[in-house]
Amino acid sequence: MKIELKNICKSFNKKSNTIDHMSLTIEDGEFVALLGPSGCGKSTTMLMIAGIYKPDSGEIYFDGQLVNDLEPKDRNIGMVFQSYALYPHMTVLENIAFPLKQQKVPKEERIERAKQAAEMVQLGHLLDRKPSELSGGQQQRVALARAIVKKPKVLLLDEPMSNLDARLKIEMREEISRIQKELGITTILVTHDQEEAMTMADRIAVMRDGKIIQYSTPMELYNHPKDYFVAQFIGTPPMNFLKGKLSNNQLRLRNMTIELDRKWLDFDGEETDVHVGIRPHDLKLGNNGDIRIRGIVHMVEPIGHSQIVNVKVGNEQVRFFVEPNIKMEYGREVEISADISAIHLFDKATGRSLKKDSVNQGQIEELVS
């Protein structure tokens, strides 16, 4: 089912909008992640799509049909809540069969289908337990089974993995992706974990303060962040930022002056303070690149196939990767470099990206239609 939000506003007090003129289109069968820090309005958005909250203004369409006033029960959605929200007085089987019972599915078929759903999330052996007798991971699976059992048109997942340990998280991620592909359900995943969003979603909507900052594919977000906030949020380890000054086509970064191609910039030429962003992956030890930075080794974190080295450049810190066989000594000065094409520029005052191809609107529009 195609979901469209048009100019949605929602506020819980008179002072500010929790959701502020938000528009979002989710294609049929698409897996979209709402990514943003805690309190930015992700759950509120979900609950409006579910019909629990009514938007103050704006419209929500399912397959082109206005559903603002449609009751939650008539929307044919399945939802996994942040807290799982299992029914404590029912067994696992009763919990999973509950949505079917409401649809008046005959008892035998209901139990059969509930068992199938339970098998799908590998819960077949726990059907007689009460939720309080399950671990967090198992409760999460029950919630997922309950959400998919009635084969809904839309699946809403509100931070379903925030309470699982790292290993379970990876397992559940794969499981959810598999089920989503298998059933072809339009799915919205809410998360504050960028890695989760990057690995699972077809498209990601990055949110801040009730607004969508950027809505594109994971790779587009990674390669062409439109905003300082997005650049900060996406990628592990996070993008490095150094202070710089841009005027005309000259970028002053530490003691360097770098000539940039004017065509490359979306910039009026006036002197501006900028954040210069470079991904850790784009930095190499040595002086082979266009931009060279000297820094003092400050921390080394081996991660098996590589090591993350943290150097101090003046007051700022820069992270990059080094081959595991190179020995890095604490306190030593090293030189690192990157290609000029690898840098991102963000206006310090507005956060807007100053690189032209980073706001590749045409490309995104193409993806949508």
Ligand X SMILES: Nc1ncnc2c1ncn2[C@@H]1O[C@H](COP(=O)(O)OP(=O)(O)O)[C@@H](O)[C@H]1O
Binding ligand X (rule: CB under 6 A), the pick from 5, 17, 42, 149 is: 42
C-beta neighbour count of 82 within 10 angstroms: 15
What are the backbone dihedrals phi and psi of residue 126, each rounded to the nearest 5 degrees, phi first?
A: -115, 15
Whose Cβ is closer to other proteins: residue 144's or residue 309's?
144
CB atoms within 10 A of CB 169: 19
End-to-end CA, the chain: 15
Residue 44 interacting partner from ligand X, other proteins, Mg ion, none (CB closer than 5 to 8 Å by kind): ligand X
> Cβ of residue 49: shortest distance to ligand X, in angstroms?
12
Task: Tell me the C-alpha to C-alpha distance, in Å, between residue 158 and each of 79, 135, 352.
Answer: 8, 19, 29
Select the residue interacting with other proteins from 36, 41, 55, 99 (CB under 8 A).
99
Q: Of the ranges 35-43, 91-99, 174-182, 285-293, which one interacts with Mg ion (CB under 5 A)?
A: 35-43
User: Are 1 and 164 a contacting pair, CB within 8 Å?
Assistant: no
Q: Which residue is nearest to Mg ion (CB)?
A: 43
39 binds ligand X (CB under 6 A): yes
Which residue among 17, 18, 43, 140 contacts Mg ion (CB under 5 A)? 43
- 61 part of the interface to other proteins, by CB under 8 A: no
Among Mg ion, other proteins, ligand X, none, what does residue 267 contact (CB within 5–8 Å per kind)? none
* Distance (Å) of CA 12 to CA 20, 34, 54, 71, 228: 12, 20, 11, 20, 28
Which part of the chain contacts other proteins (CB under 8 A), choosing from 25-33, 95-103, 216-224, 240-248? 95-103
Residues written for the chain = 369
Stretch that binds other proteins, among 97-105, 185-193, 225-233, 282-290 (CB under 8 A): 97-105
CA distance 352 to 232: 12
Part in contact with Mg ion (CB under 5 A); list of ranges 39-47, 148-156, 265-273, 278-286: 39-47
Q: What does the alpha-carbon distance between residue 161 and residue 192 come to, in Å, rounded to a whole number?
A: 10
Task: Tell the burial category of 158 from Cβ atoms under 10 Å away from its Cβ (0-12, 13-18, 19+).
Answer: buried
**What residues line the site for other proteins (CB under 8 A)?**
47, 50-52, 71-73, 75, 77-79, 81-89, 98-99, 102-103, 131-132, 136, 139, 146, 150, 163
**What residues line the site for ligand X (CB under 6 A)?**
12, 18, 36, 38-44
